[in-house]
């Protein structure tokens, strides 16, 4: 699996030849000013919830790529009004088999108001299961969430998570200590932190983060960096 980081909570995964972009928030992000949004052309855009720092560039990227947008029913209705037609509404608890793997929408404890004031429905995380070289792999993209015991259900269902992409910035989501518990709850191998340092409310101590995730393989990305993770 190839992983590219575009800042904040925006990752692009390449799985089975398909590119899946999560929560694009690039053009307003000063830290991501070197990223050329016009060159991002994924096959899918998965949107965890309706907050501006997760959806800002969905419309542009979807229109330039014709990517299929996967999100809650309410977030999809918002984007249909902006002219997006290649959409797939889901909701918490639901599973769907796409051509790159199986997506399950899992609990996120957060809010989901859209920029126009309408309700974005339930915020969600996503678990993606796929086969790579005849081995089953599970990726958990937590979205914005608090620590919740529901994460133990992910471990019950999937046994382990190969790659857990977790918010660590505190204040608006869980912070580092709770994210370590989340990684334990889902039985993660590799942890990829997100939702930190973008603005003052979510700045973190990087040394503290590295110490806290000592028991996991921690993969941190510079913005614009691409890695192959196995
Ligand atoms: Ni949010
Ligand atoms: Mn957020």
60 Cα–ligand 1 center, Å: 20
Predicted pLDDT of residue 211: 98
216 Cα–ligand 1 center, Å: 25
135 Cα–ligand 1 center, Å: 33
135 Cα–ligand 2 center, Å: 32
51 Cα–ligand 1 center, Å: 5
Gap between the Cα atoms of 217 and 229, Å rounded: 11
Read off the pLDDT of each residue in 1-24 and give the average, rounded to a whole number: 97
Question: What residue segments make up the domains of the chain, in order of their start?
Answer: 2-217
Query: Does domain 2-217 sit in CATH 2.40.340.10?
Result: no
Predicted pLDDT of residue 183: 98
49 Cα–ligand 1 center, Å: 7
Gap between the Cα atoms of 23 and 7, Å rounded: 10
Order of strands across the sheet that contains 44-46: 87-90, 68-72, 44-46, 18-22, 11-15, 2-5, 226-228
Read off the pLDDT of each residue in 215-226 and give the average, rounded to a whole number: 98
Mean pLDDT of the chain: 98
64 Cα–ligand 2 center, Å: 24
177-216: pLDDT as tens digits: 999 999 999 999 999 999 999 999 999 999 999 999 999 9
* Residue 117 neighbours by CB under 8 Å, 6+ apart: none
Asked if 7 contacts 198 with a C-beta cutoff of 8 angstroms, the reply is yes
**38 — phi, psi (to 5°)?**
-65, -15
Read off the pLDDT of each residue in 46-57 and give the average, rounded to a whole number: 98
Show the tokens assigned to 9.
């909570």
Gap between the Cα atoms of 197 and 203, Å rounded: 4
Torsion region of 8: left, alpha or beta (phi above 0 gives left; psi -120 to 50 gives alpha): left
Beta-bridge partner residues of 227 = 3
Which segments within the chain are labelled E, that is strand? 2-5, 11-15, 18-22, 44-46, 68-72, 87-90, 95-97, 102-107, 124-132, 135-141, 161-167, 188-194, 217-218, 226-228
Predicted pLDDT of residue 167: 98
Gap between the Cα atoms of 118 and 78, Å rounded: 8
Nearest CA to 150 out of 107, 189, 187, 191 is that of 107
Show the tokens assigned to 83.
């002219």
How far does Cα 40 stand from its chain's mean position? 16
Nearest CA to 107 out of 120, 88, 89, 94 is that of 94
Read off the pLDDT of each residue in 27-54 and give the average, rounded to a whole number: 98
Predicted TM-score of the model (pTM): 0.98
135-158: pLDDT as tens digits: 999 999 999 999 999 999 999 999
């Amino acid at each position: 699996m190839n992983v590219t980081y575009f800042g904040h909570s925006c990752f692009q995964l390449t799985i089975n030849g398909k590119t899946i972009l999560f929560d694009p928030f690039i053009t307003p992000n000063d830290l991501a000013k070197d990223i050329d949004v016009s060159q991002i052309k994924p096959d899918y855009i998965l949107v965890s919830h309706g907050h501006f720092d997760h959806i800002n560039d969905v419309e542009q990227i979807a229109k330039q790529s014709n990517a299929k947008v996967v999100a809650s029913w309410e977030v999809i209705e918002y984007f249909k009004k902006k002219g997006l037609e290649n959409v797939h509404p889901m909701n918490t608890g639901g599973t769907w088999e796409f051509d790159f793997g199986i997506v399950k929408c899992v609990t996120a404890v957060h809010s989901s108001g859209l920029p126009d004031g309408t309700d974005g429905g339930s915020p969600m995380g996503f678990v993606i299961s796929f086969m790579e070289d005849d081995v089953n792999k599970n990726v958990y993209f937590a979205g914005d969430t608090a620590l919740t015991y529901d994460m133990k259900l992910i471990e019950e269902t999937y046994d382990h998570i190969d790659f857990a992409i977790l918010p660590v910035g505190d204040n608006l989501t869980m912070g580092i200590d709770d994210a370590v518990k989340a990684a334990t709850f889902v039985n993660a191998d590799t942890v990829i932190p997100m939702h930190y340092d973008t603005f003052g409310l979510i700045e973190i101590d990087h040394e503290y983060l590295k110490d806290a995730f000592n028991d996991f393989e921690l993969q941190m990305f510079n913005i614009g960096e691409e890695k192959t993770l196995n």
